[in-house]
């Protein structure tokens, strides 16, 4: 999948003009109301958010040691840990494991890391067929699209589109079958994917958490696809980035208590699965190999730095559910794997602010994201920090820099500022007083293309004040 | 006799200063009626546009200027949650680690207040004698709500205004899409957001829109007008001060007036 | 340098540590050994009877169903009744769990009971839960020959038997029991926390049960809280 974050403005424009997407977005993400209700039903919710933040911060501050402990436990349980510094290394490691298993098809549970490293395309280039099993991910896989939301990847689709895709792709099924209702579409997907589950040689999942105490990887789903992915094949591969570490099972329960509530308003997702190593000697089912691929991809250098806090993210999606910008343009506009406010902070860190700079700039700093983040990440502050980096590196657009410099010149000289504003007020008033507003202002085209600009009142407050008082 | 602790320096804000001075005069009236003496030192900008654009140096320079200008007052009052938030929340951030300026900025931030919450929370004003015939709906500006803790207070005071009916705005706490430079950097996205807000405002059936931030008000007013909706848009201080008889935002003056 | 060395080196450089610092090592070792509990919500901290009532409410809220059964001897009949009510064939698959093996299945002659993991062709599975959490109506099942994991996911209907006394108020109680059963720091291959039947809302945000896992989850709580 190609990176289009540099074309964010173009993407956003296309998204705003996409009637079907706009319909889907306004039908919306009922998650907002549900989160509110779930939080209300748990008196300890706010304290749990503080605790969750503290657990993640503590872990990040001791990440090397928790990673060592985790590694020892995975190995003791018969699992194999692989390290990957870059996306390329991670792809290679995963491919090697699959080749050793003579894999032809690979089922996949939802994993953002797989998207981040471009795994599906790489598999296809190397003769291995990846099959997404999360229903939303499957829907977008057959359309060759990126997910548009981290919890609900196909939220931008309507059922007619899904029907069209199923008819196009599931050619072995009778052409005259009825696919009118979501329930029939789901039943068809279930049947198709059931065959893939049973036939897969390798199953790949992500990990919401990696538990150092026990060497355990945890996935959280509502469908059960992750479980079928990791239980049926001979080989189970877990793809996880380094910041997924959590110290103990007790720490896991704190995080679980805020995760589903923040994501979908459920108290718990349907399936929370803890996996440790391969099947044991007398287990009648389960994989015979268990691999964990730990990916860095730039995260280790974020620790202890200005953007370290984003590594607390537990991928709940609350920030984007609440974001007015995300709700206006949807996830694809962000142009890469991670959309919404967390994407706006993480993307420049992983792909560079020169490519990802639009994302932290396209924010009003309304603060809703920070208000709902279960681990209290100061998202607006870090978006602003990206803007500072851009400014230092002169990446800020010339018009903005110039405008600011002009403004600052006057603002630093209040007497001169007073004269300039008095003049501006007078001039704009003269031109605008007839109607009280401007339908078009040459130097404010961005504004007046969409809305009227009110005319000032003719003299500034400060000028009038000084005339009236002494 | 020592001076009473009610000397207020009014940080009028660029938008009020340039675009709508009546808000400044309304603020002064409300403060004086509540027993304060109000002064307006020569001032320019709190520095928020620079701060949000990543120009920390300019933001600091302007912050130093504001602090030096205003710190002798007992209180600094701002008819805006946005500029108020810049001072109260972000000035200490700007000087983090500076042994001289940081404590100074913290002391300064601690005595800076948004106008309405200053009246209610600090001066204990619970009732305003004012009259306004109409149905108003109120928009919570993001900074007022999330940085300055303003939500119940303006509604409480408005409830006491004779003749005024308050119609609650659904999603009052959702951003209007102004975001300072955001609305000119990403105009189409801003437009989508303000359009949603404007339609929600119009759907309440109110004839008046009120808020505590002029940026939001100008933004929503401009969109309401472009959409052909006829509501009077004003700063909440205008109504509370009984100064809501002049032209609303974006409305022409009656023919004879001249400053 | 291996990838491992590079990553550890980078982490330590960023944090400004060598990794050998005694205080840090002790902090981590202590937390792992003592695994202190965090905030445990008051919701599940109830008397045994109230816990069971809460558990039932939460399972039903998650679209599961609950039967309270006084005596283990009645379980096979209860299962047979359940199958009849839902027009399901009288055949179930279970694991080797001795508690399930000891049930008087012979009392239900028409009920065909086979033992082992699922191959995808079973319609109904019967498992015995390790424990449950009243706080959220969650069942805990562990892998192994007693209750093969495939039984939790492949069949269309999942019947889970649980002893009333094993319904805890919170997850923390179950972590403790896991440690007691499997040893500190050790775990079985899979621990499933299950809250209701499988579901998806990926198609137009319409909630539908039975996405990939079972579309029906039926819990039989045996023996009250004694």
Q: What is the pLDDT of residues B204-253, one digit of tens each?
A: 999 999 999 999 999 999 999 999 999 999 999 999 999 999 999 999 88
Among B18, B50, B53, beta carbon nearest to A424:
B18
> pLDDT at residue A443 above 80?
no
Our CA-based measurement puts residue B238 at a distance from the nearest CA of chain A, in whole angstroms, of 14
Q: B67 and B103: one domain?
A: yes
Q: Is B226 on the interface with A (CB under 8 A)?
A: yes
**Interchain contact, B54 vs A434, CB within 8 Å:** no
Q: C3 and C68: one domain?
A: no
Among A418, A424, A464, beta carbon nearest to B21:
A464
Q: Rounded CA gap, A432 and A125, in Å?
A: 63
**Average pLDDT, integer, range C75-98:** 96
Among A30, A136, A286, beta carbon nearest to C149:
A286
> Closest chain A residue to C178 measured between Cα atoms?
A249
Among A384, A389, A449, beta carbon nearest to B187:
A449
Please report, for chain A, the start and end positions of each structural domain, with discontinuous segments joined by +.
5-300, 403-468
Q: Rounded CA gap, A361 and A379, in Å?
A: 12
> pLDDT at residue B256 above 80?
no
pLDDT at A378: 98
> pLDDT at residue B255 above 80?
no
Side by side, the strands of the sheet bearing B37-39 are B37-39, B7-10, B75-78, B112-114
pLDDT at A397: 84
Provide, rounded to the nearest whole percent, the portion of chain A with pLDDT above 90: 83
Question: Where a domain ends, among B121, B137, B154?
Answer: B121
> pLDDT at residue B258 above 60?
no
Closest CA to A8 of A347, A257, A270, A243: A347
Query: Which residues 37-66 on chain A approach chain C with CB closer than 8 angstroms?
Result: 42-44, 47-48, 51, 55, 61-66
Q: Is B186 on the interface with A (CB under 8 A)?
A: yes
**Average pLDDT, integer, range C109-131:** 95
**Average pLDDT, integer, range A156-184:** 92
Question: Which residues, in sequence order, are CB contacts of A99 under 8 Å at separation 6+?
Answer: none
Q: Rounded CA gap, C147 and B215, in Å?
A: 63
> Closest chain A residue to B142 measured between Cα atoms?
A366
DSSP strand pairing (A453-454 vs A437-438): antiparallel
**Interchain contact, A451 vs B17, CB within 8 Å:** no
**Average pLDDT, integer, range A177-202:** 92
In a domain, B167, yes or no: yes
Q: How confident is the model at residue A257 (pLDDT cuts 50, 70, 90)?
A: very high
Spell out where A242-388 has E strands.
245-246, 271-275, 289-295
Q: Is A378 on the interface with B (CB under 8 A)?
A: no
| Alpha-carbon A160 to chain mean position | 26
| Contact (Cβ atoms closer than 8 angstroms) between residue C179 and residue C191 | no
Among B44, B51, B174, beta carbon nearest to A417:
B44
In a domain, B247, yes or no: no
In a domain, C15, yes or no: yes
Q: Rounded CA gap, A335 and A320, in Å?
A: 15
Phi, psi of A48, rounded to the nearest 5 degrees: -65, -35
**Interchain contact, B17 vs A461, CB within 8 Å:** yes
Q: B56 and B139: one domain?
A: no
Q: Is A182 on the interface with C (CB under 8 A)?
A: yes
**DSSP classification of residue A443:** G
Q: C197 and C174: one domain?
A: yes
Q: Is A133 exposed, middle or buried (0-12, 13-18, 19+ CB in 10 A)?
A: buried
Q: Rounded CA gap, B172 and B149, in Å?
A: 14
In a domain, C41, yes or no: no
Phi, psi of C53, rounded to the nearest 5 degrees: -65, -40
Provide, rounded to the nearest whole percent, the portion of chain A with pLDDT above 70: 99
Spell out where B52-207 has E strands.
75-78, 112-114, 131-138, 162-166
Phi, psi of A136, rounded to the nearest 5 degrees: -60, -40
Question: Which residues, in sequence order, are CB contacts of A39 under 8 Å at separation 6+?
Answer: A45, A46, A261
pLDDT at A1: 63
Helix A45-61 and helix A31-40, axial crossing angle in degrees, nearest 10 = 100
**Average pLDDT, integer, range B1-23:** 89
Domain holding C30, by residue range, is: 1-34
Test the C interface: residue of A44, A253, A264 with most C CBs within 10 Å: A253
Q: Rounded CA gap, C82 and A240, in Å?
A: 42
In a domain, B253, yes or no: no
> pLDDT at residue A428 above 80?
yes
| Contact (Cβ atoms closer than 8 angstroms) between residue A366 and residue A44 | no
Q: How confident is the model at residue A419 (pLDDT cuts 50, 70, 90)?
A: very high
**Interchain contact, C149 vs A63, CB within 8 Å:** no
> pLDDT at residue A309 above 90?
yes
CATH of the domain at B223: 3.40.50.11810
| Contact (Cβ atoms closer than 8 angstroms) between residue B131 and residue B98 | no
Q: Which residues of B touch A457 (CB under 8 A)?
A: 19-22, 253, 259
Q: Which residue has the higher pLDDT, C1 or B258?
A: C1
pLDDT at A240: 98
Q: Is A183 on the interface with C (CB under 8 A)?
A: yes
> pLDDT at residue C129 above 90?
yes
In a domain, C39, yes or no: no
- Weakest-pLDDT range from A232-246, A393-407, C61-75: A393-407
**Interchain contact, C31 vs A294, CB within 8 Å:** no
> Closest chain B residue to A418 measured between Cα atoms?
B44
Q: Is A366 on the interface with B (CB under 8 A)?
A: yes
> pLDDT at residue C151 above 80?
yes
**DSSP classification of residue C183:** -
The residue whose two tokens read 């907002």 is A32
Quote the mean pLDDT of chain A: 94
**Interchain contact, C31 vs A280, CB within 8 Å:** no
DSSP strand pairing (A202-205 vs A105-108): parallel
**DSSP classification of residue A309:** G
- Weakest-pLDDT range from A115-129, C87-101, C166-180, C200-214: C200-214
Alpha carbon of B60 to those of B48, B81, B95, B181: distances in Å?
10, 19, 8, 19
Q: C131 and C198: one domain?
A: yes
> pLDDT at residue C226 above 60?
no
The domain tally of chain B equals 2
Q: Is B245 on the interface with A (CB under 8 A)?
A: no
Query: Which residues 211-270 on chain A approach chain C with CB closer than 8 angstroms?
Result: 212-216, 222-225, 227-228, 231-232, 242, 247-251, 253-254, 256-257, 266-270
Q: C25 and C50: one domain?
A: no
pLDDT in tens, B73-132: 999 999 999 999 999 999 999 999 999 999 999 999 999 999 999 999 999 999 899 999
> pLDDT at residue C167 above 90?
yes
B227's tokens: 């959409």
pTM: 0.95
pLDDT at C187: 97
Q: Which residue has the higher pLDDT, C203 or A244?
A: A244
**Average pLDDT, integer, range C63-77:** 95
Chains B and C touch (3+ CB pairs under 8 A): no
In a domain, B200, yes or no: yes
pLDDT at C207: 85
Count of CB atoms situated within 10 Å of the CB of C121:
8
Our CA-based measurement puts residue A318 at a distance from the nearest CA of chain B, in whole angstroms, of 15
CATH of A5-300 given 3.40.50.12280, 3.40.50.10420, 3.40.220.10, 3.30.2010.20: 3.40.50.10420
B243's tokens: 């100064």
- Is the complex ipTM more than 0.90? yes
Among A371, A413, A437, beta carbon nearest to B146:
A371
Q: Rounded CA gap, B174 and B184, in Å?
A: 19
Count of CB atoms situated within 10 Å of the CB of A206:
23
In a domain, B254, yes or no: no
Helix (H, G, I), strand (E, B) or coil at C207: coil
Q: What is the H or E stretch that residue A133 is in? A: none
- Weakest-pLDDT range from A68-72, A343-347, A429-433, B198-202: A429-433
Alpha carbon of A109 to those of A126, A165, A217, C182: distances in Å?
20, 20, 13, 28
**Interchain contact, B19 vs A449, CB within 8 Å:** no
> Closest chain A residue to B86 measured between Cα atoms?
A365
Domain holding B93, by residue range, is: 7-121
Q: How confident is the model at residue A360 (pLDDT cuts 50, 70, 90)?
A: very high
Provide, rounded to the nearest whole percent, the portion of chain C with pLDDT above 90: 92
Helix C3-15 and helix A63-76, axial crossing angle in degrees, nearest 10 = 150
Q: Rounded CA gap, B143 and B127, in Å?
A: 24
**Interchain contact, B21 vs A457, CB within 8 Å:** yes
> pLDDT at residue A470 above 60?
no
CATH of the domain at C92: 3.40.50.10420
**Average pLDDT, integer, range A170-199:** 92
pLDDT at B257: 52
Alpha carbon of B205 to those of A450, B61, B67, B224, B232: distances in Å?
23, 45, 43, 13, 12
> pLDDT at residue B1 above 70?
no
pLDDT in tens, A74-84: 999 999 999 99
Alpha carbon of A188 to those of A160, A199, A345, C119, C126: distances in Å?
14, 17, 38, 20, 26
**Average pLDDT, integer, range A146-151:** 80
pLDDT in tens, B149-158: 999 999 999 9
Q: Rounded CA gap, C98 and C148, in Å?
A: 13
pLDDT at A158: 87
Q: How confident is the model at residue A152 (pLDDT cuts 50, 70, 90)?
A: confident
**Interchain contact, A414 vs B219, CB within 8 Å:** no
Q: Is B155 on the interface with A (CB under 8 A)?
A: no
Provide, rounded to the nearest whole percent, the portion of chain B with pLDDT above 70: 97
> pLDDT at residue C42 above 60?
yes
Question: Number of CB pairs < 8 Å for A and C?
Answer: 272
A12's tokens: 């956003």
Question: Number of CB pairs < 8 Å for A and B?
Answer: 213
Q: C19 and C106: one domain?
A: no
Among C32, C120, C149, beta carbon nearest to A194:
C120
């Amino acid at each position: 999948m190609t990176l289009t974050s540099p074309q964010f403005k173009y993407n956003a424009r296309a998204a705003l003009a996409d009637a079907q997407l706009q319909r889907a977005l306004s039908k919306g993400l009922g998650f907002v109301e549900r989160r509110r209700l779930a939080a209300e039903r748990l008196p300890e919710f706010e304290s749990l958010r503080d605790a969750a933040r503290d657990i993640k911060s503590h872990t990040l501050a001791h990440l090397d040691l928790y990673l060592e402990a985790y590694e020892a436990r995975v190995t003791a349980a018969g699992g194999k840990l692989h390290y990957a510094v870059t996306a390329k290394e991670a792809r290679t490691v995963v491919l090697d494991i699959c080749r050793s298993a003579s894999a032809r098809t690979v089922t996949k549970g939802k994993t953002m890391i797989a998207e981040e490293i471009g795994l599906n395309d790489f598999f296809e280039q190397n003769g291995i067929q990846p099959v997404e099993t999360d229903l939303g991910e499957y829907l977008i896989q057959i359309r060759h699209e990126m997910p548009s939301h981290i919890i609900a990847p196909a939220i931008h689709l309507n059922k007619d589109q899904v029907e069209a895709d199923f008819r196009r792709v599931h050619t072995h099924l009778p052409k005259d079958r009825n696919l009118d209702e979501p329930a029939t579409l789901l039943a068809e997907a279930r049947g198709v994917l059931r065959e893939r589950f049973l036939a897969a040689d390798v199953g790949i999942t992500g990990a919401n958490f990696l538990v150092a105490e026990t060497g355990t990887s945890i996935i959280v789903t509502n469908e059960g696809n992750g479980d079928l992915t990791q239980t049926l094949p001979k080989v189970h591969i877990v793809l996880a980035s380094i910041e997924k570490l959590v110290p103990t099972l007790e720490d896991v329960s704190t995080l679980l208590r805020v995760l589903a509530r923040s994501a979908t308003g459920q108290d718990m997702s349907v399936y929370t699965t803890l996996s440790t190593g391969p099947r044991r000697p007398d287990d009648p089912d389960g994989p015979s190999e268990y691999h964990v691929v730990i990916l860095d991809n730039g995260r280790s250098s974020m620790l202890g730095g200005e953007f370290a806090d984003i590594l607390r993210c537990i991928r709940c999606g609350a920030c984007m559910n609440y974001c007015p910008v995300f709700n206006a343009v949807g996830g694809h506009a962000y142009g890469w794997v991670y959309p919404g406010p967390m994407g706006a902070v993480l993307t420049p860190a992983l792909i560079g602010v020169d490519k990802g700079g639009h994302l932290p700039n396209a924010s009003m700093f309304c603060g809703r994201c920070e208000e709902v983040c279960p681990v209290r990440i100061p998202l607006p502050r870090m978006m602003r920090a990206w803007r500072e980096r851009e400014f230092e590196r002169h990446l800020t657009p010339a018009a903005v820099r110039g405008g600011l410099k002009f403004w600052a010149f006057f603002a630093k000289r209040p007497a001169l500022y007073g004269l300039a504003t008095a003049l501006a007020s007078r001039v704009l008033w003269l031109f605008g007083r007839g109607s009280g507003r401007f339908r078009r202002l040459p130097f404010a085209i961005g504004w007046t293309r969409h809305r009227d600009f009110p005319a000032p009142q003719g003299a500034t407050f400060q000028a009038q004040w000084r005339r009236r008082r002494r | 006799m020592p001076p009473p602790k009610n000397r207020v320096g009014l940080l009028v804000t660029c938008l009020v200063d340039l675009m709508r001075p009546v808000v400044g005069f309304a603020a002064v009236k409300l403060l004086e009626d509540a027993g304060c003496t109000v002064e307006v030192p020569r001032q320019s900008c709190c520095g928020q546009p620079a701060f949000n654009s990543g120009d920390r140096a300019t933001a600091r320079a302007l912050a130093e200027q504001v602090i030096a200008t205003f710190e002798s007052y007992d209180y600094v009052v701002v008819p805006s949650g946005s500029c108020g938030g810049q001072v109260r929340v972000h000035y200490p951030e700007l000087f983090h680690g500076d042994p001289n300026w940081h404590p100074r900025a913290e002391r300064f931030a601690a005595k800076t207040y948004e106008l309405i919450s200053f009246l209610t929370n600090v001066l204990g004003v619970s009732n305003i004698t004012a009259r306004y015939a109409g149905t108003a709906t109120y928009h919570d500006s993001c900074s007022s709500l999330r940085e300055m803790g303003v939500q119940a207070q303006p509604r409480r005071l408005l409830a006491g205004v004779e003749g005024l009916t308050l119609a609650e705005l659904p999603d009052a706490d959702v951003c209007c899409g102004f975001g300072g430079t955001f609305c000119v950097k990403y105009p189409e996205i801003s437009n989508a957001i303000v359009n949603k807000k404007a339609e929600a405002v119009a759907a309440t059936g109110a004839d008046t829109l009120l808020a505590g931030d002029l940026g939001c008000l100008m933004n929503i007013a401009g969109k309401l007008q472009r959409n052909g909706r006829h509501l009077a848009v004003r700063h909440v201080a205008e109504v509370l001060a009984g100064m809501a008889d002049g032209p609303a935002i974006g409305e022409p003056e009656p023919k004879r007036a001249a400053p | 340098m291996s990838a491992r060395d590079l990553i550890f080196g980078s982490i330590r450089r960023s944090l400004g540590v060598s990794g050998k610092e005694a205080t840090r090592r002790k902090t981590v070792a202590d937390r792992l050994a003592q695994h202190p509990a965090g905030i445990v919500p008051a919701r599940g901290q109830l008397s045994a009877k109230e816990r069971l009532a809460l558990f039932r409410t939460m399972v039903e809220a998650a679209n599961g169903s609950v039967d309270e059964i006084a005596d283990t001897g009645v379980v096979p009949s209860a299962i047979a009744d359940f199958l009849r009510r839902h027009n399901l064939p009288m055949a179930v698959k279970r694991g080797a769990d001795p508690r399930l093996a000891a049930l008087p299945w012979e009392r239900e002659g028409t009920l065909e009971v086979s033992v082992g993991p699922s191959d995808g062709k079973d319609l109904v599975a019967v498992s015995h839960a390790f424990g449950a959490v009243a706080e959220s109506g969650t069942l805990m099942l562990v892998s192994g020959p007693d209750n093969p994991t495939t039984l939790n996911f492949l069949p269309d209907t999942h019947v889970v038997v649980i002893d009333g006394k094993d319904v805890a108020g919170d997850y923390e109680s179950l972590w403790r029991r896991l440690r007691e059963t499997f040893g500190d720091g050790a775990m079985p291959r899979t621990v499933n926390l299950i809250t209701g039947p499988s579901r998806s809302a990926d198609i137009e945000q319409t909630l539908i049960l039975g996405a990939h896992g079972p579309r029906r989850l039926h819990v039989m709580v045996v023996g009250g809280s004694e």
